[in-house]
Structure 1
Amino acid sequence: MAQKALKDRAKANISALNYLHWGSFAVNLFWFLNYITFDNRSIVAWIVLSIPSFICQYILETTGRPTIDEERGVIKSSGEDLSAPGLTEYMWDVVWVTWGVALLAVFFGDKAWTLWAVVPAYGLYKGYGLIGIARQMAGMGSAAGGTDEAAAAPAGNRKQRRAAATSS
């Protein structure tokens, strides 16, 4: 039962990475075979818009792949959790949207690549939300810092607070 959590995460990461690589291979091979057969798609659009997906796949691979000590048969590191929310989840979304748009481009033409604009638009939306949260936190920090005398509660016991409230 030693290292059960590490083993479970390592197994889940290996499964997810295998799905990632085989899925990428299948989608890109299908697109490329269609390009060779019919030659009616833009390879430049495919290369340019697939680069972010390939970068995300590389990052997911390097951070999520478990490392195992071959001599002792022990897991050194189970890798980062590939089902974690946040940036990891966004990288998976980039990969999936790229796959979906590549398949749509095979069936409906190069105009389907414009749907890929959803990826940076969603990133900007999430980034704007983070900026709003940061502003709220900064606003709460300045109010709690005691810069506003009326809002700051005087320290001390109840008798001292009443005296401070009646004197102001």
Structure 2
Amino acid sequence: MAQKSLKTLAAKNTSTLNRTHLITLAIHATYLLCSLLLFRRRYRFLPYILCALPALGIEIYFERLARPTFSANGDLKRAGEDLEAKGLTEWMWDVLYWTWGCIVLVTLAGTWAWWLYAAVPVYTVYSLFGTYSKVKGGMGGLMGQGQTVEENSGQSKRQAKMEKRGGQKVQYR
């Protein structure tokens, strides 16, 4: 069983991508059918296009990133990247799910639900600020945060504390 893990990843990526495309197709088709046939005045297409474009872009990115490729004789050339990876991939799945939820809510409840999509950029800014704060805190004195005790006197914090209390007292027996 050569490359068993790659073949498993390829099969999982293929099924995930196919399922994602089918769900997207069903959600968008339902929205468009309801907006064109049932409730003509209730729906607007500009918010729909503005909110659907990032999700469609993410799906195209996932397709190019994770779709396995095979050689002419059917051997696996590339399994694709893992769609369950942490970090940016996880965030893109969140945006995709949130877009689906907003489109479903707009279909069921009306155009006011487009405002829920504003949570995506707000969450992104919040996430970036948290990451920036962690990086800045992790850099310590490298980001111009001031001089530490070690830089001032060449001593460790423990040595500075002991000297402040009167120095190290040595007892001889």
The alpha-carbon distance between structure 1 residues 141 and 2, as it changes in their structure 2 partners (threshold 3 A), is farther
- TM-score normalized by the length of structure 1: 0.83
* 1:59 corresponds to: 61
- AA aligned to 1:110 is T
- Pairwise mapping of residues 1-168 of structure 1 onto structure 2 (< 5 A)? 1-37=1-37, 38-39=39-40, 40-71=42-73, 73-139=74-140, 147-148=151-152, 149-151=154-156
CA–CA distance in structure 1, aligned partners of residues 3 and 157 of structure 2: 50
CA–CA distance in structure 2, aligned partners of residues 129 and 74 of structure 1: 44
Report the CA distance between 1:120 and its aligned residue. 1.2
- AA aligned to 1:46 is Y
Report the CA distance between 1:152 and its aligned residue. 8.1
Flag structure 1 segments of 5+ consecutive residues without an equivalent. 154-164
Flag structure 2 segments of 5+ consecutive residues without an equivalent. 159-166, 169-173
Secondary structure of the equivalent of 2:156? coil
Identical-pair percentage: 33
Q: Deviations over 1:45-89 (max 9, x none)?
A: 100111111111111111011111122x22111111001111111
Report the CA distance between 1:141 and its aligned residue. 5.7
The alpha-carbon distance between structure 1 residues 151 and 62, as it changes in their structure 2 partners (threshold 3 A), is same
Secondary structure of the equivalent of 1:76? strand
Moved over 4 A (4+): 140-144
Secondary structure of the equivalent of 1:101? helix
Secondary structure of the equivalent of 1:79? coil
RMSD: 2.2
Q: Deviations over 1:89-119 (max 9, x none)?
A: 1111111111110010011111001011111
